[in-house]
Amino acid sequence: MNYFSSDFKLGILGGGQLGKMLLYNTRKFDITTFVLDPNEEAPAKLACNTFIKGDLLNYDDVYNFGKQVDLITIEIENVNLDALEQLEKEGKKVYPSPKTLRKIQNKATQKLFYQDNHLPTAPFSRFAFLSEVEDAIKNGGIELPFVWKSAQFGYDGNGVKIVRTVGDLKDLPKGECIAEQLVPFKNELAVIVARNASGKVKTYPVVEMEFHPEANQVEYVICPARIALNIQQKAQEIALKTSEAYNHVGLLAVELFLTQEDDILINEVAPRPHNSGHQTIEASFTCQFEQHMRAILDLPLGSTENKVASVMVNLVGAEGYTGNVVYKNIETIMSLDGVTPHIYGKRETRPFRKMGHVTIINKEVDKDRAIAQTVKEQIKVIAG
């Protein structure tokens, strides 16, 4: 099928920053795009051919959107899967498939999937209600501390909390959740796997992630990860096994823990472009967003090699500021060599909201990391 400069229509569920960056590449290839998002001011609105306002979890909104396009993809997992299954039955291509998304959308189902497929992950318990967690602590069923995760709708550090005392359960959502053993890890790593509809697979180099201690959000993504070659290989092997088990089409970002004993455990996955791959825009021969397009359209996959070492810094709303966004000192960081900011187009800032990212590229990863620290200290995302 001819996708380029043709009547082919690609539908993207979700119009956030991932959708916007995906559209950089559809523009490059002249592919007609439709976007569905509930926000009239969604970042992706400016870059698509047709924008439709609608609820991603509403059956009719997703079904009617899908009827207008030839192929449907996502930039967020929280979408109506019943509608996507019906569209698939009617002959629409949906990548990743609703079957894959059902295994990933719910964190408890995701963890059970790793167990069933003999994929390494931290021990956990599943609970239908938060009250059951408290009971399990009292009767010795689970031990403190542990990581509480909401089974549904977690994102950007929301829906995750380290529970050290029973009091930490106060104010958490009351519904389905998991209690995961707290892993004393050395590093958090990630590997992005690309798989096209014909089953051809490529992995990106392993990245190292440094997290904000309070917000549980990634602050820095460092590529290549500063780990031994045998550990890099082990991480990529586990990511490939995970990809094979899910039988996904598109990208699969596999987040991993590296334990003190150099074992690798799967934390969670995302079946789409991911925060751990933003640096690929400047640093890789094929960026993750172009690769996702190649994979879902069943085109040859591009090279995943690095052109240069890189560090990505997330730009999030500063604490204490809510309102119209101002990027204080953005000119200062742009004067530094190898620094490229990406602003997502969200007009309103609030504490810890992802507003953009900055990529730093250099021949040496340690120099990248030092410049990234300067960037983090200089730029402030505030309200004006």
For the chain, the straight-line distance linking the first and the last C-alpha, in angstroms and rounded, comes to: 49
39 marked as binding residue? no
105 marked as binding residue? no
Cα(209)–Cα(364) distance, rounded to whole angstroms? 17
182 marked as binding residue? yes
Give the count of beta carbons closer than 10 Å to the beta carbon of residue 96.
Answer: 26
Strand 207-211 and strand 264-270: the pairing is unpaired
Contact 282, 301 (CB under 8 A): no
Give the count of beta carbons closer than 10 Å to the beta carbon of residue 354.
Answer: 20
Verify cis geometry, omega within 30 degrees of 0, for the bond prior to 224.
yes
244 marked as binding residue? no
268 marked as binding residue? yes
67 marked as binding residue? no
Taking Cα atoms as reference points, which of 121, 186, 118 lies closest to residue 149? Answer: 121
Cα(18)–Cα(94) distance, rounded to whole angstroms? 18
Taking Cα atoms as reference points, which of 251, 246, 283 lies closest to residue 22? Answer: 251
Cα(220)–Cα(252) distance, rounded to whole angstroms? 20
267 marked as binding residue? yes
Strand 32-37 and strand 9-13: the pairing is parallel
Contact 104, 250 (CB under 8 A): no
Contact 302, 285 (CB under 8 A): yes
Tokens of 241: 């096994």
Q: How far is CA 216 from the centre of its chain?
A: 14
28 marked as binding residue? no
85 marked as binding residue? no
Tokens of 353: 């909201």
Contact 142, 136 (CB under 8 A): yes
User: Cα angle vertex 336, ends 333, 339, to 5°?
Assistant: 75
Residues of each annotated binding site: 107, 149, 180-183, 188, 267-268
Residues of each annotated binding site for ATP: 107, 149, 180-183, 188, 267-268
